[in-house]
């Protein structure tokens, strides 16, 4: 698992900034071709939307708001990708720890089952013959009540926690982005 992680982290870090850099260079070339200016005469910080050549005329370049555009910075793209990669790795560790928590609950469930069985039914079976029938009958009632009350309660809590974890931890970390847009539900 660690070898796969060590292999995938560079794959997550490197391609996206390079693709964004190549897209930016293509936009700058398109802007140069549309305006007829080359090199330093074209503001490389202008983020020009990709369009077909017929819709780009020298007069339409001002419609893109190139003077008001934020400068494009390769370092900012790399830093953003590093942050996303760190969030992904931490999320993966968090999901694994969450599953370990569920495993610990099931292990505690198994150990409690052994303790309840040995404290109730086994002690009832240790009585001499005439009393063991009544002792087993009473011990079974106690064992059944404890099993229903505690172990099934733990099972219900375990199912609830697993569902809550799937919805709030995994689902939200995969699809939710706090980009500042107002939530509008489906209608």
CB neighbour list of residue 95: distance below 8 Å, 6 or more residues apart = 169, 170
User: How many beta carbons lie within 10 A of that of residue 120, not counting itself?
Assistant: 22
Give CA–CA dist 123/116, Å, rounded. Answer: 10
pTM, to two decimals? 0.54
Q: What is the pLDDT of residue 53?
A: 43
CB neighbour list of residue 72: distance below 8 Å, 6 or more residues apart = 24, 44, 45, 47
User: How many beta carbons lie within 10 A of that of residue 127, not counting itself?
Assistant: 14
Looking up tokens 């172990």 gives 151
Give CA–CA dist 181/187, Å, rounded. Answer: 17
* Cα distance from N-terminal residue to C-terminal residue, the chain: 43
Residue 107 in tokens: 């292990």
How many degrees, rounded to 5, is the angle at CA 145 between CA 140 and CA 150?
130
Give CA–CA dist 42/149, Å, rounded. Answer: 75
Looking up tokens 């793209």 gives 77
Q: What is the DSSP string of 8-38?
A: HHHHHHSHHHHHHHHHHHHHHHHHHHHH---
Per-residue confidence in pLDDT tens, the chain, 187 aa? 678 878 888 888 888 899 999 998 888 888 888 877 765 445 555 544 444 444 444 444 444 445 555 677 888 889 989 998 888 888 888 778 877 887 888 788 888 888 989 888 888 888 888 888 888 889 999 999 988 888 888 888 888 888 887 777 777 767 776 777 777 777 6
SS3 state of residue 47: coil
């Amino acid at each position: 698992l660690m070898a796969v992680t060590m292999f995938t982290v560079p794959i997550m870090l490197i391609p996206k900034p390079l693709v964004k850099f190549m897209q930016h260079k293509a936009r700058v070339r398109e802007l140069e071709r549309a305006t007829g200016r080359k090199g330093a005469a074209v503001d490389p910080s202008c983020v020009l939307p990709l369009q077909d050549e017929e819709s780009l005329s020298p007069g339409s370049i001002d419609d893109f708001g190139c003077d008001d555009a934020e400068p494009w910075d390769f370092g900012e793209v790399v830093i953003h990708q590093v942050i996303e990669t760190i969030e992904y790795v931490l999320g993966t560790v968090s999901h694994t720890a969450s599953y370990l928590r569920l495993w610990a609950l099931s292990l505690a469930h198994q150990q409690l089952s052994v303790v309840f069985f040995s404290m109730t039914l086994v002690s009832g079976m240790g009585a001499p013959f005439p009393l063991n029938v009544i002792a087993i009958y009473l011990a079974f009632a106690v064992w059944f009540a404890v099993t229903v009350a505690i172990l099934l309660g733990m099972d219900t809590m375990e199912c609830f926690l697993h569902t809550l974890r799937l919805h709030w931890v995994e689902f939200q970390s995969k699809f939710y982005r706090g980009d500042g847009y107002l939530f509008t539900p489906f209608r």
